[in-house]
Amino acid sequence: MNYDEEIPHARTMSLRQIEVFRAIMMTGSISEAARSLYVAQPSVSRVLQLTESRLGFLLFERMRGRLYPTPEAKRIFEEVMRAYEGIERVDNLVRSLSDGSSGKLNIVCSPSLGVHLVPLAIARFHAEFAQLPIQFEPLTHNHLVPRVLFGKGYIGVSMFEVEHPNIVTVPMESGQLLCVARKGTLARRRALEPKQIARMPWIDYEHDTPLGRIVGKVFRNERRPEPIVRVRSAISACTLAREGVGVAIVDPFCIDDAMRDALDIVPLRADDAHRLTASLLYSHIEPMSNAARRFVEILHAVLTTHLAPRRAARAG
């Protein structure tokens, strides 16, 4: 910075003058102020002289080679320090925003995604952003969408389509519907068709649930068998299937390692229209934070890894 530049003829202090004034007040001398600002001593002296000339009053009394601040200088210095504290807060905020340690990450998701995949992504995210608070809540579809719309800073991860002018939907990963049953029940089958399921004891969904509507489409060309039990979530369906109640059609995201060990799992041989896509949801009015964007990157990688074995088996 060139401290010998022309200073405006106004009874105000420029940022450069304030910086020099603050340095003199804090160090107590022209020479130390110049050293702290990494400039020549004559430059600091000149800025001080011009500042006092423009203001029309002295900032310092000169006695026996030392500078003593005037009452006016002390009052100005109080305000200068308040201003610098504000600047420091801004600087700290910018730094915390850049390293993800500011704010809060609010996540809502479909219950199936909340079994294993979103928690795994949260664990990996927390390893990078240990200081950032996280709120996580699995919600049914009817409650998830309003939370993204009206909650502050929420991102959602849903398996079902959302059409709303104020919600941005970004598809992440998709997978085919699966059939699950107690271990040993489907051991010899590579896949199941709807007509085969129609001849088995099975677990259905309530008609007003998203999965219930999807399963209804699966059986649009088949007689839909009367179920042993109706449920509202794929998690409940998997638990009942594990206990031997019947066969269930579930989404590809609800199966964790424990379920995989306890169930026979085969793909449902049906149209691609019956594939489910995990999509990111966020408010069009409130863009995502940098921390949220990083979480989405991690979650995307988790979803890709989870679905990779099924894709490989399908390709084979």
- Residues 208-232 have a mean pLDDT of 88
- In this prediction, residue 309 carries a pLDDT of 73
- Provide the pairing of β-strand 247-250 with 178-182: antiparallel
Domain ranges for the chain: 15-99, 105-174+276-315, 177-274
**CA separation for the pair 37, 29 (Å, rounded):** 12
The yes-or-no answer to whether 105-174+276-315 and 177-274 have a common fold is yes
- In this prediction, residue 11 carries a pLDDT of 77
CA angle 307, 253, 191 (to 5 degrees): 70
- In this prediction, residue 102 carries a pLDDT of 54
- Residue with tokens 């039990």, as numbered in its chain: 229
Beta bridge partner(s), residue 64: none
Please determine, for residue 1, whether its predicted confidence score (pLDDT) is greater than 70. no
Query: Which CATH number among 1.10.569.10, 1.10.230.10, 3.40.190.10, 3.60.140.10 corresponds to the domain 105-174+276-315?
Result: 3.40.190.10
CATH tag, 177-274: 3.40.190.10
Q: Minimum mean pLDDT among 81-95, 198-212, 233-247, 285-299: which range?
A: 81-95
- In this prediction, residue 238 carries a pLDDT of 96
Q: Full-prediction pTM beyond 0.95?
A: no
What tens digit of pLDDT does each residue of 38-93 get?
Answer: 999 999 999 999 999 999 999 999 888 788 999 999 999 999 988 888 887 777 66
Of residues 27 and 6, the one with the higher pLDDT is 27
Please determine, for residue 292, whether its predicted confidence score (pLDDT) is greater than 70. yes
- In this prediction, residue 95 carries a pLDDT of 64
- In this prediction, residue 315 carries a pLDDT of 53
- Residues 213-236 have a mean pLDDT of 88
Of residues 190 and 312, the one with the higher pLDDT is 190
- Residues 1-27 have a mean pLDDT of 75
Single out the residue of 86, 85, 130, 137 nearest to residue 110, CA to CA. 137
What tens digit of pLDDT does each residue of 136-165 get?
Answer: 999 998 899 999 988 888 999 999 888 888
CATH tag, 15-99: 1.10.10.10
Is the Cα torsion angle 226, 228, 230, 233 positive or negative in sign? negative
- In this prediction, residue 100 carries a pLDDT of 53
Query: What percentage of residues in the chain have a pLDDT greater than 90?
Result: 56
Taking the chain, what is the end-to-end CA distance rounded to the nearest angstrom?
67
